[in-house]
Structure 1
Amino acid sequence: MPPHVSADSQADQPPLRGTVDALITQTRRLRGEMDAVRRDARAGTADLQGRWQRALCDLALHQLDDLDQHLAQLRDGPPPVPVASPADRAGARHGSLLSRVGSAEWNLLTDEATWSGELYGILGRNPAAPPLTLDELPSLVHDEDRARLTAMVTDCLIDAKPIDGEFRILRRDGAVRTVHMMGEPVLHADGSTASMWAVLRDVSELRRSQRTVSETRDSLQRQRHLAQTEHRLAAELQEAVLPPWRGSLRLPRQGPGRLDVSAGRLPSAAGPLMGGAWYDALELPGDETLLTVGDLTGHGIAVASGAATLLGALRGMAMAGTRPAQLLSWLSQLLDTTVEPALGSAVCCRYRPGTRTLTWAQAGHPAPLLFRNGTGRALAAPDGVLLGATPNAGYGQAEETLQAGDLLLLHTEGLLPRQHGAAVTGRLLGLAPRLCGARTAQDGLRTLVDEFGGTEREATACVLIARIVS
């Protein structure tokens, strides 16, 4: 019988052993470095992005292990068919299936099959049993993949197409494994197909790692998309809550004792995701003016929505003539009865221009700061607990007579990172010479932005400045 020849041209000679040894050394060095990266990743954060990074490290290690084993087989040549005891065979089955590579040849002229010892382990077959023929091989394959295997083998035998594909097998121990098969026809001297050889590799763990990476990446992308959507919706919602005026405002529009008002937000270091901070200035019936700032705990769409609800209720009750203390009491009841109870703080002021009288109340909030003649002080705060903290909470009310040229500063917590209460008040009062020298409320606001605008605060802060201009 004429000798068989491969369907491809004559193969190149295998690489020199020293070259392969050098590649193995490089691969193992890289694996050690990759393992160190994986340990660092596992010691990192437990969020979704951290899990994705660790999954990528695991996948890279699987591939490096695979490469190391393949290079070793290339250097050492094909292993002999082992004559193993049942115990040895059991141990082999629990070894590294990832890197195990087996080979087979099916002779079409004699209908004989030859398997390497590793192929028995991959397919979960007893090495003492005869190898399966091409007709019998599909009996090991998962029902959904049999047609794929049949098509690959048919194309190889009839059209001399190389085989390169994967299918799942059902082992006798119940395990489902994924096998990658590469092969080609071996031609007779007359050009007919004499046999088919193939190399089969168990890639189950590799594919599992790739699925983990893909699924984690998809989850990370969905999480980022949801976060971006929430950022945008929260920003749009809070933008809608902002007062319709921008820059500066004169209230009331006519008459003596008017207020020059300016307000703004100082963003958090976390970016565009806003919370429940608000500010407002609103002209009321009788030429009075409402001044308010407040904040709800937390951040995101739910909190921004809650702030919008509170501010809408506050505006409505203020327009109806409700005094500050009663207004805060009703706001607290409203917050306490919501589906998702929350806590909030607020200061609410009504200014009467005819007498320059400020009537105000606070709910667990920093008191307004009054700047006059180059100095500043915090107004003596009436009693008041956080909004939503206690059912049927009562709130005190205070009055302060203002003078022309006075500057009133209202602000939320969080203006300075990790500083609260007296520390923040002290920093603000230290700006008294500059604030008292401000010709307009807008100038005063610029002073605060210059002083605190670059601070990496944990949450968005609101400030409102009102200056008595006449």
Structure 2
Amino acid sequence: MPSHLSADRSAAQPPGRGSVDALISQTRRLKGDVDAVRRDTPADGADPQERFQRALYDLALHQLNDLDEHLAQLRDDPPRASGPQSPPPPAPRHDSLLSRVGSAEWNLLTDEASWSPELYTVLGRDPAAPPLTLDELPSLVLDEDRPRLTSMVTGCLVDARPIDGEFRVLRPDGGVRTVHMMGEPVLGADGSTASMWAVLRDVSELRRCRRAVSETRDSLHHQRQAAAQTEHRLAVELQEAVLPAWHGSLRLPHTGPRTAAHAHVGPPQLDIAARHLPSSTGPRIGGDWYDALDLSDGTTLLSVGDLTGHGVGVASARAMLLGAVRGMAMAGTAPGPLLTCLNSLLDAAVQPALGSAVCLRYRPGTRLLVWARAGHPAPLLFRGGMGRALDAPDGVLLGASPGTSYGQAEETLEPGDLLLLHTDGLVPGHAGAAATHRLLAALSPHLAGAATAQDCVRAVVREFGEQRREDDACVLVARVTA
């Protein structure tokens, strides 16, 4: 087919043979590199990520093969078609570039059509049949794609817009092929459209590769979503198991080894309430915990802590840690040695983790509080409308330093005293001493007149619970009632 020029642009000079040969060499080297990596990726592995990578490699190789054949055709410069009377070309190699790219011109002045022999192969037409005119061409196109073809041709002929789009054709053998069409109007001397030329390429195999990549990517995305949902559900179940919802104040008698959730009626010594405040940035399950346990020797154990990280692994480690805390407390281990054992436990775990904790043991008969901490904010004591942080013993993060021993501190409480234990995330945007000062300043006026521990927790939630927080947090309030 003779080449044409639009009236408003000049002909471009074809590249030299040597430069095309260089491009072909570069393309083939790249094909070899991609294929070498592709061979190392299992084709039917169980890992969805590997299947996705293999599909991408297949698509890249397919496009590089096309580029190689395009460049070879450009270098060899095969004869162009001269019209319907051109002699038929040799039978093309199956699925070669020549069988997938053809060209055509439609003369609007004479209503003549000129197809290259390759276009007959692309559209599955008999080479002896006359080429289809623009009015007849839509008869090959699937019904749902005809409006797209009509719009492209109309835009080219009426508005002189280039054509660049795809449509599907139904071949006589029943096969459906996807064809990519690129074309331009050819302007006459008066500036009107005299004819239209186009290059049509069978891109069915390329679209199949891209579809396989897309489907594999979607499958991988769905599998990751399902795995994330399963992990989140497990983490939630573990959290609910170790952080049961507390409704109202919990009164812990000292008449037997009862847990806070199953305390029976008896002379109240401590009025306890707690709350877990979830993160506002998403459904991430963190490692915060609170716990209260009535021990067999008449003392009460209070603990609050946090493990770094999120998800099932952290929730599982938290359950293990809390179980260890309860077991050692039931065996009579004091807070300092208890944290020393927890530090060794985290250091020896299969997946080492870092954590902070504060552990308190309260004896109602003498109102003596013995406590220890590991890299955690000290408990806050509110008395007579004033608040202060308890003098903290030394204690580094759990799991940070093997062989560390943790010291203890003591405090004698009075009736009406209120203890507030919390994790770092309670005051958004503040940590350490800044968070302590913020809590003391904000809560001292509100907690002085609180009648129950639950009222105190409500005051804390009103002050800090509605703020946007990056991480979850826990707060536990214990009020000395006698």
The separation in 1 between residues aligned to 2:435 and 2:118, in whole angstroms, is: 73
1:270 aligns with 2:281: yes
Q: Name the counterpart of 1:369.
A: 380
* Structure 2 match to 1:165: 175
Give the counterpart of 1:295 among 270, 290, 306: 306
TM-score of the superposed pair, with normalisation by structure 2:
0.59
2:203 — aligned with what? 202
How much does 1:438 deviate? 1.1
Change beyond 3 A, Cα 1:356–1:89: farther
Q: Distance in 2 between matches of 1:390 and 1:120?
A: 78
Q: 1:243 and 1:284, CA in 2 relative to 1: closer, same or farther beyond 3 A?
A: farther
Count of residue pairs brought into register by the alignment = 314
Equivalence for 2:227: 226
Using a 3 Å threshold, how does the CA distance of structure 1 residues 87 and 266 change in structure 2: closer, same or farther? same
Pick aligned residue for 1:333 from 339, 344, 368: 344
1:88 and 2:77 are equivalent in the alignment? yes
* 1:260/1:440 contact within 8 Å kept: yes
Please name the residue that 1:385 is paired with: 396
Structure 1 residue 469 corresponds to structure 2 residue 481: yes
Where 2:305 maps in the other structure, the secondary structure is strand
Deviation digits for residues 104-139 of structure 1, max 9, x if unmatched?
Answer: 9xxxxxxxxx9834449979xxxxxx989xxxxxxx
TM-superposed CA distance for 1:85, in Å, is 7.4
- Give matches, 1:336-415, under 5 Å: 336-415=347-426
Aligned residue among 318, 323, 333 for 2:334: 323
Deviations 1:47-98 (A, max 9, x none): x9xxx9xxxxxx9xxxxxxxxxxxxxxxxxxxxxxxx8753359xxxxxx8x
Asked if 1:116 corresponds to 2:113, the answer is no
Q: How much identity, in percent, do the aligned residues show? A: 59
Q: Aligned pair in 2 of structure 1 residues 404, 201: CA closer, same or farther (>3 Å)?
A: same
Residues 165/270 of structure 1: CA separation in 2 closer, same or farther (3 Å cut): farther
Aligned mate of 1:433, from 440, 445, 453: 445
Distance (whole Å) between structure 2 residues aligned to residue 250 and residue 227 of structure 1 = 38
Give the SS at the match of 1:287.
coil
Equivalent position of 1:139 in the other structure: none
Distance between the aligned counterparts of 1:417 and 1:215, measured in 2?
A: 41
Q: Let me know the Cα RMSD of the aligned residues.
A: 3.5
Question: What is the CA-CA distance between 1:101 and the residue it aligns to?
Answer: 5.8
Amino acid at match of 1:87: D
Aligned equivalent of 1:213: 214
Q: Is the 8 A contact 2:246 2:273 kept in 1?
A: no
Tell me, yes or no, if the aligned pair for 1:405 and 1:468 is still in contact at 8 Å.
yes
SS at match of 1:237: helix
Structure 1 segments (4+ residues) deviating >6 Å:
120-123
Measure how far apart 1:257 and its partner are: 7.0
Q: 1:86 to 1:352 in 2, by over 3 A?
A: closer
Structure 1: runs of 5+ lacking an equivalent? 1-47, 53-58, 60-83, 91-96, 105-113, 124-129, 133-159, 167-178, 182-198
The structure-2 alpha-carbon separation of the partners of 1:292 and 1:89, relative to structure 1 and needing over 3 Å to count, comes to: farther
Q: Report how far residue 180 of structure 1 moved.
A: 4.5
Task: Name stretches of at least 5 consecutive residues in structure 2 with no aligned partner.
Answer: 1-47, 53-58, 60-72, 80-96, 105-113, 129-169, 180-199, 256-265
